Structure 1
């Protein structure tokens, strides 16, 4: 009989934990434990490290039960702590957070082995993710994968002038007011015609119908706060 895969699920909502457990129960050879807080999860992982370590941890990102007494108050902090301590465990995210900014930040800065949206996951997806993680591969649910690809494509198209224009755009009622503000790499100022041409290209690249829509698309992609 194959060795069991020991997994820890971390979420502060009991119903969510029960839902994830209901999917995992149909996957053979799993030994599953749960934790309701990052502090509890970190303690469990450390306690079991020598004799019966966890191989995989799935954590949410937000914890409503974190307070001033919590040592670790978010999934991001929890992941950072595990990485700082160099604990040999595969880290996956199961969360409801699909905002491009947060997704990009987590994946770019923390590099989890999996990013799964809790509202859409099922037994097949979790099983696939676990197998990928154990094989030292990465799994992102389809929506997350698409967001990362789109963000990467946009970043390739972006330059410093484009970022300046997008940041200034919401501040001005007229495009002409931006003349004398946007600078090129050599320090010279961009003329109004060049700004308008750049805006037209940005609208086409981001499939925006107008400048207001362009700003919204830039925020959605995490280019603007």
Structure 2
């Protein structure tokens, strides 16, 4: 008889939980427990360690139901807490957050076994993700994978001059003001024509309509804070 996989599903919206449950209930051999807060999720995981530990945690990232009494106020902090205590549980992010910068930071810093988007997953994808996680593999939904790939490609194209220009751009009303500000590797200043050429290439690489849009795209990709 196949082993039952014990899953903890954490989300602050009960309707979302019920929707995800409708998909998970279509998968065999799952024992699913739900909770609406990170504190409760942590408590359930700790209690279960004594007898029947959870195999997988699916958690959202943002929780709107936290207050000053909450010890763990986000999915990120829940994952960090579990990691800091070396609790053996596979973690999957199941969220509505699809901002490239947040995705990049969560995956780089927390290394979840899966990253799926609420409202865009179904029984088949959840089942596939669960099987991958149980096998010790990684699964990111297609949209997340594409965003990470684009972020990596853009990062490869970024050099120190490009970063300087993007950081200084919001501080100067005219492009000509960047002359005498942006430096090359040898310490000399970049001429205005070179700055304009670099900006044109950056707009093309980041598919930006103008310089304002370029800065926004750079922030969305996590290139700028």
Q: TM-score, normalised by structure 1?
A: 0.96
Inter-partner Cα distance in structure 2 for 1:206 and 1:192: 21
Structure 1: gaps (5+ residues): none
Inter-partner Cα distance in structure 1 for 2:200 and 2:97: 32
The match for 1:49 is 49
Alignment of structure 1 residues 65-104 onto 2, 5 Å:
65-104=65-104
1:168-205 per-residue CA deviation (whole Å, 9 max, x = no partner) reads 11222211100111122332221212211211221221
Inter-partner Cα distance in structure 2 for 1:209 and 1:70: 43
The match for 2:157 is 157
1:36-65 per-residue CA deviation (whole Å, 9 max, x = no partner) reads 111100111111113100000000001111
Inter-partner Cα distance in structure 2 for 1:186 and 1:111: 38
1:55-113 per-residue CA deviation (whole Å, 9 max, x = no partner) reads 00000001111111111000000000010000110000000111111111101111100
Segments ≥4 residues shifted beyond 4 Å: none
- Greater mean alpha carbon deviation, residues 191-200 or residues 132-141: 191-200
The match for 2:4 is 4
Query: Does residue 110 in structure 1 map to residue 110 in structure 2?
Result: yes
Structure 2: gaps (5+ residues): none
- Greater mean alpha carbon deviation, residues 24-33 or residues 210-219: 210-219
Inter-partner Cα distance in structure 1 for 2:197 and 2:174: 15
RMSD over aligned CA atoms reads 1.1
Inter-partner Cα distance in structure 1 for 2:123 and 2:192: 55
Inter-partner Cα distance in structure 2 for 1:165 and 1:200: 12
Q: TM-score, normalised by structure 2?
A: 0.96
The match for 2:199 is 199
